[in-house]
Amino acid sequence: MQSAQKFAKELQKQVDDACVSLAIDQKQKQLASIDAQLADPDVWSNSSHAESLSREAGALRTFVEPWIALRAGIEDSLELLALDDHSLLGEVDQQLHRLEQEYNQRRKDLLFQGDFDDHAAIIKLSAGAGGTDAQDWTEMLERMYLRWAERAGMKTELIERSAGEEAGIKSVTYSVSGPFAYGKLHSEHGVHRLVRLSPFNSDNLRQTSFALVEVMPEIATPDEVKLDDKDLKIDVYRAGGHGGQSVNTTDSAVRVTHLPTGIVVAIQNERSQLQNKETALKILRSKLVQMQLDQHAETFADLRTGESASWGAQIRNYVLHPYTMVKDTRTKHEERNAQGVLDGDLEPFVEAYLTHSTTA
């Protein structure tokens, strides 16, 4: 009994320390406050605000409740041990073993200590050097991230997609939401290089292709990142592409230029001009925050133009010929099962990067 009690108390201390570090009690109060707002019927008069609150509550609940349940489970075990009933020892030992396993899984949350790690993410993929092969490679990456998101229980929403002329895609942008979406995905930020036998070359020669992956914390609310109106140039124009008469007859597309940095965000999502403007501003805020993180700048005024994610050295190599291997150039983590990685098995790379970042 004494050894079981000692183990339970040690586990309780570890969990309590983790809860303090992760501000679980504060987040629980924040969740209760949002739930109270959502219970008020008047909040739904502004549907976009209500939906934003609902998403925030869902993310908080997914994060907080397992820790609350873990803490309660340990307290329950200690209460049973306090009864000093030896017939319960086997049952309590099993419960403590299960709780320890749960804690070992949950303790990964402690790796997410960045200011924006708990945010949703915006991920943009752009084809680089390599022509059709690069566009096909970009589509392969799109499939990889969508599969990863599905495995990780993340929700994805397509924002923009530009198809290639022959195959693949020129660029695509998604919003990814779920527990620590940005915290997990920001390890993917950079250039990804593929080496394979080209399916688009009649001689079946080895081809090297590049794609740029930009990952930004989603800054959905204007209050979180203030933009000065004098720094913005907003143009509206007629959207092109498919989608019916309204696409070709209304100025629904929006282009937002951030004058100090030269960042341009254009959205023509076949929706209203107002929705496209809100989406463009959200992406602009997210881009500015990512640039600030990349450059370690104190304010947006300190940002250096053109120094966000760039076509510098690749962060990861995917080799499919003459052997198969995926290797991260920063952490040196590698996987021989390249197809498994391309099917969405990215967790080992995510964990290696988080561990590398916290120990560097």
> Considering the domain boundaries, does residue 157 fall inside one?
yes
Domain annotation covers residue 223: no
- Position 33 in a domain: yes
Q: What is the chain's mean pLDDT, rounded?
A: 88
Token pair, residue 345, equals: 């098995």
Percent with pLDDT over 70 in the chain? 93
Same domain? For 90 and 171 the reply is no
Name the β-bridge partners of 216: 122
Q: What is the pLDDT of residue 245?
A: 42
How far apart are the C-alpha atoms of 292 and 297, rounded to whole Å?
5
Tell me the mean pLDDT in the region 318-344.
96
d(CA 194, CA 196): 6
Residue 62 located in a structural domain: yes
Q: How confident is the model at residue 275 (pLDDT cuts 50, 70, 90)?
A: confident
Q: How many structural domains does the chain have?
A: 3
CA 357 to chain centre: 16
**Which residue, 60, 80, 111, sits at the end of a domain?**
111
Highest mean pLDDT, choosing among 97-106, 292-301, 334-343: 334-343
Instruction: Pick the closest to residue 190 from 348, 349, 334 (CA basis).
Output: 349
Q: What is the pLDDT of residues 105-128, one digit of tens each?
A: 888 888 887 888 988 999 999 998
Same-domain check for residues 92 and 12: yes
Residues 334, 203 share a domain:
yes
Banded pLDDT at 310 (limits 50, 70, 90) = low
Say which CATH number the domain at 266 has: 3.30.160.20
Confidence of residue 307 (pLDDT cuts 50, 70, 90): very low
Residue with tokens 């739930």: 35
Kindly state whether residues 72 and 137 are assigned to the same domain.
no
Residues 214 and 236 both lie in one domain = no
Residue 57 predicted with pLDDT over 70: yes
How many CA within 13 A on the CB side of residue 93? 10
- DSSP output for 248-262: HHS--EEEEEETTTT
Q: Which residue has the higher pLDDT, 244 or 47?
A: 47
Are 207 and 326 in the same domain?
yes
Higher pLDDT, residue 310 or 91: 91
For residues 198 and 312, membership in a common domain is answered with: yes
The CATH number of residue 98's host domain is 1.20.58.410
Q: If you average pLDDT over each of 30-34, 248-252, 258-262, 263-267, which comes out highest?
A: 30-34
284: buried, middle or exposed (CB in 10 Å: 19+, 13-18, 0-12)?
A: buried
Higher local confidence (pLDDT), 326 or 207: 326
Instruction: List strands edge to edge, sheet with 190-197.
Output: 155-163, 169-177, 121-127, 206-217, 190-197, 316-319, 325-328, 334-335
Helix H or strand E encompassing 197:
strand 190-197
212 and 315 in a common domain: yes
Whether 213 and 233 share a structural domain:
no
Segments forming the whole domain that contains residue 49: 2-111
Residue 141: pLDDT band with limits 50, 70, 90: very high
Q: SS3 for 121?
A: strand
- 213 and 318 both lie in a single domain: yes
On whether residue 49 sits in a domain, the answer given is yes
Residue 175 lies in a domain: yes
Helices (H), the chain: 2-21, 24-38, 47-82, 89-106, 131-151, 181-185, 245-249, 273-295, 338-342, 347-359
Residue 247 included in any domain: yes
H/E segment holding residue 319:
strand 316-319
pLDDT in tens, 292-305: 888 877 777 777 76
Domain closes at, from 51, 85, 111:
111
Predicted confidence at residue 227, as pLDDT, reads 87
What percent of the chain clears pLDDT 90, i.e. is strictly above it? 52
- pLDDT tens sequence across 188-210: 999 999 999 998 887 778 889 99
pLDDT at 78: 93
Mark whether 134 and 272 lie in a shared domain.
no
Q: Confirm whether 83 is domain-assigned.
A: yes
Q: Are residues 251 and 130 part of one domain?
A: no
Write down the pLDDT at residue 251: 74
Find the mean pLDDT for residues 76-86: 90
**Among 68, 93, 111, which residue terminates a domain?**
111
Q: How confident is the model at residue 2 (pLDDT cuts 50, 70, 90)?
A: confident
